[in-house]
Amino acid sequence: MSPNGPHKVRQLNRRLVLDLFRDGAERSRADVARQTGLTKPSASAITDELLTEGLLSPAGVGSVGATGGRRPSLLRYNSRCRAYLGIYFGVQRTVVAIADALGRPLARAAAASSVGDPEGGVRAVRALVARAGARAEISLDRLASVGVAVPGLVDHRTGTCLLAPNLGWRDVVLRAQVEQLLGAPTTVYNEAHAGALAEQHAGVASEVSSFARLTIGTGVGSGVVLDSQLFAGSTGIAGEVGHCRVEDDGLICACGNSGCLETVASAPAITRAVDEALERGETSSLRAGSHVRLIIDAARQGDRPARDALTRAGHGLARGVSYLLNVLNPELVVIGGAVQDAGGLLLDPLRAELPRSCLPQNSGCEIVMSSLPDAELDGAVLLARQLDEAAA
């Protein structure tokens, strides 16, 4: 056996025990031995070590077993031993969330985004983290890792935001900047990829092994999970369905091309469709520049320009979704973001148009709305936790 053999085995056993406790349940040392397959002396030695380090904490005593004997001392994961930070650099707001060692949210803070000023946007995070940390009553020296979600093309290998057109950011070395600011290991992903992770963890796709999640906001992106693993592509920019062409003579997109799905089905595209109807003199309860939430509410009340705008977006989405269906053949497509409260107002025209754009075998794929209001931020916290656990 190599000189590092025993040490490596011990590290693996430590991780095995820690992973066992990360479900939040209370266990005795005998439970640890039984559930991990370790010998009782090894299980006791490792749990005692973790207790000393503060990673585990006492949890009282358990019940006497069927054969009698002493009541066992119970242990639990110390949820305050470390903290995870999620950062979402949205187009409208930058939001941070602090979670405990079990990934449970403790507090968050938000501020207006720094469009066109990535360095200023990163600097602003320090005050947000301090504010959230005070609310969570947790010392930031316990910050174990950071997950960042950004609405743009991200090379997650280097943590570089290659292009976030709606933020006006290009070639921003986010990972290095955040690590320098906060002093904690950081990982950076596209917002739609982070949203897909959250959907897989706690959303409607939690029992599905292959799905795509579209995030619709200022732009349109998608995160793809195949065989229960996030598919990011060779450089991390897989899933950019928002920049697939769906109209031959469409508008110029922020990416520089024309007719992209983003110009038809994003929140600004829906607002613009209503504004154009108002300019034509169509009757509506809405004013120019109405937020998508107001447009959805008006559509529910039968407002014709509002309903037409959502129908046009649904038809565009059908063409965009068809790319995903024909190439990936997922079990499920989830739609989240600014339009996820639209329900059938968006899904009905999408489903009606879909058979015209994809293979018949794919046209029956289930398409549903997300139930997660903050999937991108939740996903950023998950990324932080995964980064820490992978390094354990």
Q: Could you please report the per-residue DSSP string of 277-343?
A: HHHTT---S--TT--HHHHHHHHHTT-HHHHHHHHHHHHHHHHHHHHHHHHH--SEEEEEETTTT-T
| 149 class by beta-carbon count within 10 Å (0-12 exposed, 13-18 middle, 19+ buried) | buried
Three-state secondary-structure class, residue 108: strand
Identify the CATH number of the domain defined by range 83-191.
3.30.420.40
Residue 340 has pLDDT above 60, yes or no: yes
Query: What does the pLDDT read at residue 1?
Result: 42
Average pLDDT over residues 76-96: 94
Residue 30 has pLDDT above 80, yes or no: yes
- CA 282 vs CA 23, 54, 191, 275: distances in Å: 56, 66, 36, 10
- CA 6 vs CA 130, 141, 293, 389: distances in Å: 41, 31, 59, 21
Query: What does the pLDDT read at residue 4?
Result: 58
Query: What does the pLDDT read at residue 23?
Result: 86
Longest dimension (CA), the chain: 84
Q: Which of 388, 324, 354, 288 is nearest to 86 (CA)?
A: 388
Q: 83-191 with 204-371: one CATH topology?
A: yes
Query: What does the pLDDT read at residue 47?
Result: 93
Q: State the DSSP H helix or E strand holding residue 189, giving kind and residue range, or none if neither.
A: strand 186-190
Contact predicate 33/43, CB 8 Å: yes
| Close Cβ partners of 315 (under 8 Å, ≥ 6 residues apart) | 349, 350, 353
Average pLDDT over residues 4-8: 72
Please identify, in words, the CATH class of the domain defined by 204-371.
Answer: alpha beta
Please identify, in words, the CATH class of the domain defined by 5-77.
Answer: mainly alpha
Query: What does the pLDDT read at residue 211?
Result: 97
**Over the stretch 53-63, which tens digit does the pLDDT of each residue have?**
888 999 888 77
DSSP 258: B
Residue 248 has pLDDT above 80, yes or no: yes
Question: What's the mean per-residue pLDDT of the chain?
Answer: 93
- CA 118 vs CA 86, 145, 162, 275, 354: distances in Å: 17, 21, 12, 31, 38
* CA atoms of 190 and 150, how far apart (whole Å): 5
**Over the stretch 118-165, which tens digit does the pLDDT of each residue have?**
999 999 999 999 999 999 998 888 899 999 999 999 998 899 999 998
**Over the stretch 263-289, which tens digit does the pLDDT of each residue have?**
999 999 999 999 999 999 999 999 999
Share of the chain above pLDDT 70, in %: 97
Average pLDDT over residues 229-239: 89
Which residues make beta-bridge pairs with 170? 163
Average pLDDT over residues 326-343: 96
Query: What does the pLDDT read at residue 65?
Result: 62
CA 39 to chain centre: 39
Domain-wise residue ranges, the chain: 5-77, 83-191, 204-371
Residue 66 has pLDDT above 60, yes or no: no
Query: What does the pLDDT read at residue 7?
Result: 75
Query: What does the pLDDT read at residue 318?
Result: 96
